[in-house]
Amino acid sequence: MKYLFLDESGSHDLAVIDPAYPVFVLGGAIIDGESTLEAIGEALADLKVGLFGTSSVVLHTADMCRNRRGFEMLDDPALRARVRAKLNALLGILDHSAIACVVHKGAHLARHGADALDPYVLCLGILLERFCFEVGSERESGVVVVERRTPRLDRQVEHA
């Protein structure tokens, strides 16, 4: 069994484009097998306890970058560097594949106009196609786990 965990960065809204972040990114991690999934879960829990004193903290990049919602201590440059180094080291040894799709929303709109697909839907299709390639034969199967958002957006993802 293979698993694809997905999360996004940026807004998929084509009506509003932030000049400071004009892209939408959908990224994922592909993990092969229950034992690998469990090993990654344990390694992440250990890392969280070692860095933050609890395994229940959610490693949300936006909060970590902005020193908020439990990450206020990261305003200390030395601690921020230590946390980043530990996270990068762990990602370097974990058995996973990373995949991503990026849409520059302005270019997407300029090219397709009113026919432009929602960037989330566009990226999702591309990443699911890649995941199907990874899953391979009919004897194997895959599970896709998408980060929960609002109920309306969750329904849109399920529909897509």
The pLDDT value given to residue 68: 94
Query: What is the Rg, in whole angstroms, of the alpha carbon atoms belonging to the chain?
Result: 18
Query: What is the end-to-end Cα distance of the chain in Å, rounded?
Result: 22
The pLDDT value given to residue 139: 67
Q: Dihedral, CA atoms, 38, 43, 44, 50, nearest 10 degrees?
A: 150
With a cut of 70, list the residues of the chain below it in pLDDT: 138-140
Helix (H, G, I), strand (E, B) or coil at 120: helix
- Distance, C-alpha 43 to centroid of its chain: 18
The pLDDT value given to residue 60: 87
Q: Which of 135, 159, 118 is nearest to 4 (CA)?
A: 135
pLDDT in tens, 18-54: 999 999 999 999 999 999 999 999 999 999 999 999 9
The pLDDT value given to residue 149: 74
As a whole number of angstroms, the distance between CA 156 and CA 51 comes to 36
The pLDDT value given to residue 140: 67
As a whole number of angstroms, the distance between CA 86 and CA 80 comes to 10
Residue 36 identity: T
Q: How far, in Å, are 59, 97, 137 from residue 7 at the CA level?
A: 12, 14, 26
